[in-house]
Amino acid sequence: LSDCLACDSCMTSEEGARVFQQNQEELFHVLNLNKKCDTSKHKVLAVSICPQSLPYFAAKFDLSVNDAARRLCGFLKSLGVHYVFDTTIAADFSILESQREFVQRYQQRNQEEHALPMFASTCPG
């Protein structure tokens, strides 16, 4: 989140409140709470890692990118994180949905005045 430009163009205020809760202080707070309570009361923690960050870790620790991914995943799980996901799958779903929407809009271009152009973007952060 430190790379977010706070342009507010990607989310509503409700989504903004949820994103605000996703920071390292909150992560460590939940990890500490999970250590102190019964496992049935644990909050489930999921972390997503973008593949663009892995070469940095690989170079820093003189590892291959695959080794860096495995070690980072292992480290996060050793802290108490339940799930670690690669954001590539989310990007793939986003591309598929954009493709589906474009095809739908293209087919409706003669019936619907504002079907095209279609604008799409990703957050620059």
Q: Give the list of residues 6+ apart from residue 5 with CB closer than 8 angstroms, or none.
A: 123, 124, 125
Q: What is the pLDDT confidence band of residue 8, given thresholds at 50, 70 and 90? A: low
> What token pair was written down for 4?
């977010």
* Per-residue confidence band for 15, with pLDDT thresholds at 50, 70 and 90: low
User: What is the per-residue pLDDT across 69-118, written as a single tens digit (0 to 9) for each?
Assistant: 999 999 999 999 999 988 888 888 888 988 999 999 889 888 888 888 88
Chain mean pLDDT for the chain: 81
Alpha-carbon distance of 34 to 121, in angstroms, equals 37
Taking only the tens place, the pLDDT of each residue in 17-40 is 666 666 778 888 888 888 888 878
Other beta carbons within 10 Å of 54: 19
